[in-house]
Structure 1
Amino acid sequence: MLSLITDPSFYLVAIPAVLLVGLAKGGLGGAMGFLGVPLMALVISPVQAAAILLPILVLMDMVSLWSWRGYYDRPTLAIVLPGALFGIGIGWLTATLVTGDMVRLVLGVVTLLFVARWLYSTVAGSGQASTHNVPVGMFWGTVSGFTSFVAHAGGPPYQVYTLPLRFDPKLYTGTSVIYFSVVNAVKLIPYFALGQFDAVNLGTSLALLPFAPLATLAGAYVVKRMRAEIFYPLAYATVFVVALKLLWDGVSALTG
C-alpha cells in the first residue's frame, strides 16, 4: 500500500523543486533542472530525493516529447545515446563504490572548463559551430549517462558536446528532450532493482505529479518564442551556475 511523506517542510521545498525542473524540462534547461534534487535534499536524503524525482521526470519527459514532437537531430542521438546507455550500466555496476559527491566535484571542474572555452571563443570571435565527432560524442554521452544515474546530473556532459553544435534552439531542445527521455526511462530499471522505489517514495512522487506537466508546458512555451541570440548566452550562463553548484556540493561533502 502506498504512503507518502507527511512533513509539511518537505513540500515547501519539493513543490518549488518540481516546478523548476518542469520549466527546465520544457526547454529552459540549465541550473533550474539541476536544482531539483539539491532543494529536496535540504529536508530528506539525496538518495531518497533522486528516487522520488525520477518518476516525475519520466512524466515530464512524456509531456516534453509531445511539446517538441518533430524537432530532433538524428545524428546527435545516434552518437550520444549508445554512450549514455553504457554510462548508465557503469553507474549501476559501481553504485556501491562511487558517491554522488565525487561525481559532482569532477563534473564541476569539467563544466567550468567548458564554459571558459566558450567565453574565450566568443571574445576571440571564433565561436563557430562545431561538427559531429563520433568518439567525442560517445565519450560525453557515456559521462552523461553515468552522472545522470549517480547524481541526476547528466545535463552538463551532454551540453559539452551538443551546445557547440549551435543548433536552432527548437532543434537543440527537441533533441535534448528525446535524449533525456530515453535516459530517464532506462534508469527506472536499475533504480527499481536497487530497491529505490518503496511505498513512501512512490506515494510521494504521485502526490507531486500534478505540478509536473504545467511547469513543463510553460517552459516549452517560453523557449519556442526565444531567439538564438538570447537562448545560447542564457544556456551557457545557467551551465556556469550549475558548475559552481556542483563544485560547492562536491568540495563541501568531501572536506566536511
Structure 2
Amino acid sequence: MFQLFDYSLAYQTIGFVFLVAFFVGMAKTGVHGISLLAVPLLAVIFGGKASSGLMLPMLVVADLFAVKYYHRHANWSYLVKLFPSAIVGVLIGTWLGNIVDDEIFRVIMSVIIFVSLGIMLWMEKADKKSVPDYLWFAILMGLVGGVSTMIGNLAGPIMGLYLLSMRLPKNEYIGTAAWFFLVINVFKVPFHIYSWQSIDSNSLLLNLISLPFIAIGAVCGVYIVKRIPDRQYRWFVIGMTAIAAILMNI
C-alpha cells in the first residue's frame, strides 16, 4: 500500500495513475485521442469530479511541453474565434458539474464523441468548399469544447472535429490545439480549486510524482508523430477518437 497524505493507494493504482500521466504526455504532443482512454480509468479510481481535478494539472504540464515544441505552428486566427465562447463554456461546465452525476455525464459525452466522429468521417468525404469555416461554427465548437473540457477533460474530440474541419496541416493542427488547451486549462484551475474543491495539496503531490511519466509520454508522442505523414495522421486522430468512443460505453 502506498501512503500519500490522505491517499492510501495500492501500488497497482499508483501504476494506473502513472499510465494516465504517460498517456496525457503523449496526447499533448500529437497522439490525440489516447488521453480519452485514460479518462474512464482515472474516474473509476477517484470518481468523476475528483479525477477531473487530479488530471487537470497533468494536462497543464503536458500542454507546456506541447507549446514549447509546437508553438511556432499555431494558427491564431482560429484561436481568437474559439476563446470567447470556450470561456463561456467553462463557466457553464462549472455550474453543470455540480448538478450532473457521473452516469449522466458519461452518456452525454459518449453521444458527443460519437457525433464528432461521424462528422469527422463526413468531412473526409466532403468537398473542401463545404468546410464550415464560419464564425458561428467556431463559436459552437468553442462553447461545446469549453463545457466538455470543464466537466471531464474531454474536449479533445470537439477540437479534433473543428481543427480537422479547417484542414490544418499536421504540425499546425497540433500547435493550435496546444495553445488552445494551455490557455483554457489554466483558466479552469481556479474553478477546480474554489468551486469544486477537486484540487488540493494531496492531488498536487500525486501530480508532482507523475511528472517524469508525463515527460516520457511527451517525448514518445513527438517521436510517433514525426513518423506519421499528414494524410495518415488525420486518420490516426479519427481512429483514436473511435476507440475512445467505444471504450466510453464499455
TM over 0.5: yes
Q: CA deviation at 1:204?
A: 1.2
Number of residue-to-residue matches in the alignment: 244
Change (3 A) 1:237 1:66: same
Change (3 A) 1:115 1:196: closer
**Please, which runs of 5 or more residues in structure 2 have no aligned partner?**
none
2:103 pairs with 1:111 = no
2:56 maps to which residue?
54
Q: CA deviation at 1:232?
A: 0.7
How many percent identity over aligned positions? 22
State which of 223, 232, 235 in structure 2 corresponds to 1:221. 223
2:19 pairs with 1:16 = yes
Alpha-carbon distance in structure 2 between the residues aligned to 1:236 and 1:139? 20
Superposed counterparts of 1:46-195, under 5 Å? 46-120=48-122, 122=124, 125-128=125-128, 130-194=131-195, 195=197
Change (3 A) 1:227 1:135: same
Alpha-carbon distance in structure 2 between the residues aligned to 1:171 and 1:98? 35
Q: CA deviation at 1:91?
A: 1.3
Tell me which amino acid in the other structure corresponds to 1:41: A
Tell me which amino acid in the other structure corresponds to 1:236: I
Alpha-carbon distance in structure 2 between the residues aligned to 1:140 and 1:118? 13
Contact 1:37 1:46 in 2 (8 A): no
2:32 pairs with 1:40 = no
Tell me which amino acid in the other structure corresponds to 2:23: L
Three-state SS of the structure 2 residue aligned to 1:166 is coil
Q: CA deviation at 1:210?
A: 2.0
TM, length-normalised to structure 1: 0.87
Contact 1:34 1:153 in 2 (8 A): yes
Alpha-carbon distance in structure 1 between the residues aligned to 2:102 and 2:155? 12
Tell me which amino acid in the other structure corresponds to 2:30: G
CA deviations on 1:35-72 (whole Å, 9 max, x unpaired) are 22322233322322222221111111111110112011
Alpha-carbon distance in structure 2 between the residues aligned to 1:185 and 1:85? 11
1:253 maps to which residue?
none
Tell me which amino acid in the other structure corresponds to 2:153: H
Q: CA deviation at 1:97?
A: 1.3
Contact 1:103 1:147 in 2 (8 A): no
CA deviations on 1:163-201 (whole Å, 9 max, x unpaired) are 111211000010000001111101101001122222321
Change (3 A) 1:166 1:146: same
Moved more, 130-139 or 169-178: 130-139
2:32 maps to which residue?
29
Alpha-carbon distance in structure 2 between the residues aligned to 1:37 and 1:113? 19
**Please, which runs of 5 or more residues in structure 1 have no aligned partner?**
250-256
Tell me which amino acid in the other structure corresponds to 1:240: A
Alpha-carbon distance in structure 1 between the residues aligned to 2:173 and 2:232? 14
